[in-house]
Amino acid sequence: MAIISVYIVSKAGGLIYQYDNPNSPKIEVEKTFSYPLEISLDYQNKKVTVVFGQRDGIRVGHTVLAVNGNPVNGRQLEDGQDIFEILKNEENFPISIKFGRPKLNTNEKIVLASMFHSLFAIASQLSPEHKSSGIEVLEADTFKLFCFQTVTGIKFMVVADPKQAGIEGLLRKIYEIYSDFALKNPFYSLEMPIRCELFDTNLQAALEQAEKSGLSNV
Amino acid sequence: MSRQGMRSTDPKKVNSELFTLTYGALVAQILKDYENDDEVNRQLDRMGYNIGVRLIEDYLARTGSGRCYDLRDTADKLQMAFKMYLSITPSVTNWSPAGDEFSLILENNPLTEFVELPEGHGGLKYSNILAGVLRGALEMVQLEVAAWFVQDQLAGDSCTELRVKFLKRLEDAMPVGED
């Protein structure tokens, strides 16, 4: 699916809403290994990460998500066993390990959102032209980030597939949904995280619509 | 003013009488609670302010209009907003020589349609919520204004006049890339 996630950042740079499209492809590989493990793992940023030995869709930078179907938490399984201890012991093999691209946790998302907020400000100051906006599109080989800042200073951001068209229209649609279902909710206070069910459902409907109609035929 | 489903681009029409009566109930209740005209005026203004800071986003999302760099521009957009939300087109007049003050003349104010002020409430500014809405909405687009009623049909004037004075642009609050 072509729309990966949506972020809304308040005027102060705080993340007030974030949505990951559950339909966007998850990169996960599960494979059964025999002793000894041919992949070198390291414990980085509180995650067990592949540092070398890329094969069968398992890439450097992927983290261990589960061992024998048991989800991993930090460097431990849920029952408290250390992953590195398990992998050292030949008796535990063959063993099935699930690898995947690490998901951003809420804290990391908040950090990234405020980082983008500053980048946006830097971009507008760096401009050689007088009165430049901040970053409106940020393009990479696997995704495009679109940002729309309202006159009141709220930023709406959509991360999408580079081929997805019609994002500018979608951003304005999200602004409308925000003004309808977040702001007209009397129990929502401004600048606070948006926790409104109506907002969620309407946003998701808009995303689905955009994916259906907006995919360009390039 | 609420909407249904995904038809968010066309606002739902609502009978203006229902709106008039609801507002009347609100004012009557506040008057009962505070028993003091000035305090009621203040409460209405405060409520209006809180409505304005939210309503501005609806206006911007719906019209896609950009920032104003001149008060005349602002006056035109206010006129458009009155059309959108109250279905009336006030006339913009009485510009001050400096161009920092103008009046919105409301010939028929939907808020006061069935209203006569009772005796002893000469100080009550019945439609004061509008002044608050204006102030709140403009503050969110970094314009500090003062808004107040100078004439009111309810008080026997020939029309209702809402005076708007530009105080300053809130430069500190300007979002980046806009200043």
pLDDT per residue as tens digits for the range A100-134: 888 888 999 999 999 999 999 999 888 888 878 88
Closest CA to B131 of B32, B33, B51: B51
Q: How far apart are CA B13 and CA B23, in angstroms?
A: 17
CA distances from A20 to A7, A38, A217, B71 (A): 9, 33, 24, 42
Yes or no, beta carbons of A134 and B176 under 8 Å apart: yes
* Residue of chain A minimizing CA distance to B139: A152
Q: How far apart are CA A196 and CA A188, in angstroms?
A: 8
Domains in chain A and their CATH numbers? 3-24+105-213 (3.30.450.70), 28-100 (2.30.42.40)
CA trace torsion B139, A152, B85, B167 (10° rounding): 20
Residue A14 predicted with pLDDT over 80: yes
pLDDT at B178: 57
Query: Residue ranges of chain B with pLDDT lower than 70?
Result: 1-11, 177-179
For chains A and B, count residue pairs whose Cβ atoms are closer than 8 Å: 74
Residue A35 predicted with pLDDT over 50: yes
B positions 134-173 inside 8 Å of A (CB):
140-141, 173
Yes or no, beta carbons of A151 and B1 under 8 Å apart: no
Q: Average pLDDT in the A84-95 region?
A: 88
* Residue of chain B minimizing CA distance to A175: B61
Yes or no, beta carbons of A153 and B175 under 8 Å apart: yes
Closest CA to B11 of B89, B73, B78, B87: B87
Q: How far apart are CA B133 and CA A159, in angstroms?
A: 35
pLDDT at A172: 93
The more confidently predicted of residues A24 and B118 is B118
Backbone angles phi, psi at B167, to 5 degrees: -100, -60
Give B136 to chain A, closest Cα distance, Å: 12
Residues of A near B (CB-CB distance < 8 A)? 11, 120-121, 123-125, 132-134, 149-154, 172-173, 175-180, 183-184, 190, 202, 205-206, 209
Residue A218 predicted with pLDDT over 80: no
CA distances from A50 to A92, A97, A204 (A): 20, 12, 34
DSSP reduced 3-state for A192 = coil
B positions 67-86 inside 8 Å of A (CB):
67
Helix, strand, coil percentages (3-state) for chain A, rounded to 5, are 30, 30, 40
pLDDT digits 0-9 by tens, B21-61: 999 999 999 999 998 999 999 999 999 999 999 999 999 99
A50 touches A61 (CB < 8 A): yes
pLDDT at A79: 84
B103 touches B121 (CB < 8 A): no
